[in-house]
Structure 1
Amino acid sequence: MTTSPALPRPTPAELDLLQVLWPLGSATARQVHEDIIKERPDVTYATVLRLMQIMHAKGLLIRDESERSHVYAPAQAQDALQTNLLKDLMQRAFAGSAKALVLAALKSGISKKERDEIEQLLKDEDEQ
């Protein structure tokens, strides 16, 4: 049985950067910085560039070096990374129980709209 290498787990700052980069698909550090400063004007270009370089070294980003300004892209699609993080959380905090994880999430408080969406999702699943 071969085990695949552990995927890197992004820090909160790295996840914030990925949230900006996923919709863009790929971008230069300058483009990412311009997007980030809309919400956080205190973040410098140098900070964004350094974080992207670290994320590339960790395997969270891929980098195209063919142009003068390097273009970065997420190494994993958003849903794939979120699924891996969720599986990791489920194993570490909920002894592998999806039910316990979902119940904890539901107890933490959800809006009426979110509850309706969940009920519709479950109803659709039952009908298949």
Structure 2
Amino acid sequence: MKPTDSELEILHVLWSNGPSTVRQVHEKLSQSRDIGYTTALKLMQIMHEKGFVSREEDARSHTYTALVSEEATQRNLVDRFVETAFRGSASKLVMQVLGQHKASREELNEIKNLLNQINSSDESN
């Protein structure tokens, strides 16, 4: 199961700030978009039911913690996106991204290093 866009926004807050109350998440989200407190609360309750977050109940508040890692979530979203939008072709995805987005010299160097690492591990197998 993949998180919705709104759930992903909440996960980003939890990944960045660590365990947080609904109020803390709401305050962070309110900086970039108009979202009501009860909407944030309902989303986080749904996320708890889905198993995306855990909830620790205190006398006055609930603290939520992400149960899914950022890396695993990104990997799952990318895998699904490559399968659905690019028919499983990672090279088509990369070509599309590089064709639409001007990569910095640093980003291109990171990509080259990653490709070299992949080639090195393939050759050693």
* TM-score range normalised by the length of the shorter chain: 0.7 to 0.9
- Report the Cα distance in structure 2 between the residues aligned to 1:70 and 1:116, rounded to whole angstroms: 44
Match for 1:101 among 81, 86, 93?
Answer: 93
Alignment: residue pair count: 119
- Report the Cα distance in structure 2 between the residues aligned to 1:96 and 1:126, rounded to whole angstroms: 20
* Superposition map of 1:113-128 within 5 A: 113=105, 114-123=107-116
Q: Which runs of no fewer than 5 residues in structure 1 stay unpaired?
A: 1-7
Match for 1:54 among 21, 46, 51?
Answer: 46
- Report the Cα distance in structure 2 between the residues aligned to 1:111 and 1:96, rounded to whole angstroms: 23
* Superposition map of 1:7-86 within 5 A: 8-40=1-33, 42-65=34-57, 67-68=58-59, 69-86=61-78
Please tell me the root mean square deviation across aligned C-alpha atoms, in Å. Answer: 2.0
Q: TM-score, normalised by structure 2?
A: 0.80
- Report the Cα distance in structure 2 between the residues aligned to 1:124 and 1:75, rounded to whole angstroms: 30
- Who is 2:83 aligned against? 91
How far apart are 1:126 and its partner, in Å?
Answer: 5.5
Q: Which amino acid aligns with 1:115?
A: L
- Report the Cα distance in structure 2 between the residues aligned to 1:127 and 1:60, rounded to whole angstroms: 36
- Report the Cα distance in structure 2 between the residues aligned to 1:100 and 1:124, rounded to whole angstroms: 20
Q: TM-score, normalised by structure 1?
A: 0.79
The structure with the largest helix share of the pair is: 2
- Report the Cα distance in structure 2 between the residues aligned to 1:38 and 1:94, rounded to whole angstroms: 34
- Report the Cα distance in structure 2 between the residues aligned to 1:80 and 1:37, rounded to whole angstroms: 26
How far apart are 1:54 and its partner, in Å?
Answer: 1.2
